[in-house]
Structure 1
Amino acid sequence: MQKEVVVVVGAGLIGQAIARRIGVNKQILLASLSLQDAEQAAIQFRNAGFIASAASVDVSSRESVQALVEQAQQLGPITGVIHAAGVSPSQAPVATILRVDLYGTALVLELFGNVIAHGGSAVVIASQSGHRLPALPAEQDRALAMTPVEELLQLDFLQPDKVVDTLHAYQLSKRGNSLRVMAEAVRWGQRGARVNTISPGIIITPLANDELNGPRGAGYRRMIEASPVGRAGTPDEVGHVAALLMGPDGTFISGSDILMDGGVTSAFRFGDIQQPVIQS
């Protein structure tokens, strides 16, 4: 009898932390843009007693994501999807951020939502940044949530003359992630499955270290220092929340977003952290 399959799209530290909590006695398929990175993660999981294999995926490519879906289906019924792939404002230009973080997430939700097993669940890693974008017009919210995936990047308010700053692109993408998940929860529910987002603050990973040492690093460090908790988070802390959302104690939660940022967003709105200026 085939075991249940958990797919990790973006097998970095956060994706791995979640998989360790929900992947016991399941087939874990770890996928990254770099097959070598995915294979190294799979070796670590197998050495720790898990059943794990590796795959390469480019979330900005429909053909690549569809191939990952088919590879996962060959292993068994897909009952878990962890989507943690993405690029940060310091890592990529505007077009790449929108293509990977916004379009790529919508694509993963569409294609895995077509095959997710009854009782299955997914978590998408969004960001605190989505919560700090000012309110969008209702029609833009709906467009981010409902526009067919292949038309998403054609939206007028996402064009190069409207989004010229990488942080703005990132915030729009992460706001779009949570809106998209809310809409997809309806479709996933028709298959008896659930999907939610987690919006972490600064979680210490290689990507976060790139940000802390990048052009916005000083601002990020001030943000951590001025937050109510006064520190960055860890991948394991995100893993605990994801385990709740994806496990038996979270079966009444779908289409929701959990903000876990050490109170940074609270400090932006009601404390001493200054909102960054976005060029648009």
Structure 2
Amino acid sequence: MITGGAGGMGVATAKIVGRDHDVVLCDVRGDRLDAVTVELEGLGITATAVVCDVTDRAAVESLFTTATGIGPIASVIHTAGVSPSMGDAGYVARTNALGTVHVGEAFFATAPTGAAIVNVASMASHMLPDEVVPSGAFPSALEDPERFMADVTAAFEIAPAEARSGLAYAISKTFVRWYSTSQAERFNARGLRIVSVSPGSVDTEMGRLEEQAGAGAMVADFAVPRWGTAEEMAELFAFCASSKAGYLTGTDILNDGGVIASMRERARVAATA
């Protein structure tokens, strides 16, 4: 199963995992899902499209009912999410954080032993100082989503209004990393793996929305001076979800072309100069 299945990374991943699995694609954009399904079928990939908003827990549970009706779930690659340019802070946080909980908990409830879920976090989550991350509020997302939203919304309000969506994005992707590490032992009790991948700036429609908000400068000025490709991310997602990575769980893989490494080393050099 691939959430965000009509997006650049979702489609690229479907082309890889679809070589030896049927795929279920979900997205909120039904027209684009239809086009992707036709494209995949032209490649000999069996694809089922389901229109689903990951912020709607009942819709996510229905999605998993559809998927398990086709066959046992081998893996879920959860690419669905929104960037700061796509909405206000509350919308960004609800989609990225609670969407991850809805998908992850439905996976936990239905997937068979040996299955894996790969959640897409972000390089942005590696940039925040610990003191601005409301990590104490994170566990409530599993028990009291509205309290979680109230608590993280208070954290966004330290920023000027124009910067809150960006802060919400970074905090919500930090939550994705937290969920993917904190739940590893619980998932393993059912024979399931859970990991996250933090992409850097990726040359997709959504990635390019942030080009003028700072991503373009980071791409040009750091270790690997180019945008990552959807295919490069997809290969990593597919590996993490496969049996080849059977010992991999409870961790995040930063796949950012060395941006964070460059930033940290430059900061160290500047501090000692």
Q: Same fold (TM over 0.5)?
A: yes
Deviations 1:103-152 (A, max 9, x none): 111111111111111111111111000111111489x43542x3243523
Structure 1: 5+ residue stretches without partners:
1-6, 273-280
User: Using the alignment, how far apart are the partners of 2:153 and 2:220 within structure 1?
Assistant: 35
The letter of the residue matching 1:152 is P
Which residue does 1:8 correspond to in 2?
A: 2
1:120-269 correspondence to structure 2 within 5 Å:
120-136=115-131, 140-141=134-135, 143-144=137-138, 146-149=139-142, 151-155=144-148, 157-160=151-154, 162-163=156-157, 164=161, 165-212=164-211, 214=212, 216=213, 219-269=214-264
Identity of counterpart residues, as a percentage? 28
Which residue does 1:4 correspond to in 2?
A: none
Give the Å deviation of 1:211: 1.6
Contact 1:199 1:260 in 2 (8 A): yes
Give the TM-score of the pair, scaled to structure 2.
0.89
User: Using the alignment, how far apart are the partners of 1:228 and 1:114 within structure 2?
Assistant: 41
User: Using the alignment, how far apart are the partners of 1:19 and 1:195 within structure 2?
Assistant: 19
Contact 1:60 1:99 in 2 (8 A): yes
1:64-103 correspondence to structure 2 within 5 Å:
64-103=59-98
Distance verdict in 2 for CA 1:159–1:35, change over 3 Å = same
Distance verdict in 2 for CA 1:190–1:263, change over 3 Å = same
User: Using the alignment, how far apart are the partners of 1:137 and 1:220 within structure 2?
Assistant: 21
Contact 1:30 1:41 in 2 (8 A): no
The SS at the match of 1:58 is coil
Give the Å deviation of 1:200: 0.3
The SS at the match of 1:159 is helix
Q: Is 1:46 aligned to residue 41 of structure 2?
A: yes
The letter of the residue matching 2:231 is D
Contact 1:226 1:267 in 2 (8 A): no
User: Using the alignment, how far apart are the partners of 1:161 and 1:59 within structure 2?
Assistant: 23
Contact 2:203 2:227 in 1 (8 A): yes
The SS at the match of 2:198 is strand
- Could you say which structure has the higher helix fraction? 2
Contact 1:182 1:196 in 2 (8 A): yes
Contact 2:100 2:176 in 1 (8 A): yes
The SS at the match of 2:144 is helix
Q: Is 1:111 aligned to residue 110 of structure 2?
A: no
The alignment's C-alpha RMSD in Å is 1.9
Greater mean deviation of Cα atoms: 117-126 or 168-177: 117-126
The letter of the residue matching 2:3 is V
Give the Å deviation of 1:221: 1.6
The SS at the match of 2:2 is strand
User: Using the alignment, how far apart are the partners of 2:32 and 2:193 within structure 1?
Assistant: 28
Which residue does 1:61 correspond to in 2?
A: 56
User: Using the alignment, how far apart are the partners of 2:21 and 2:84 within structure 1?
Assistant: 34
The SS at the match of 1:50 is coil
Contact 2:137 2:152 in 1 (8 A): no
Give the TM-score of the pair, scaled to structure 1.
0.87
User: Using the alignment, how far apart are the partners of 1:56 and 1:158 within structure 2?
Assistant: 28
Contact 1:45 1:51 in 2 (8 A): yes
Contact 1:99 1:153 in 2 (8 A): no
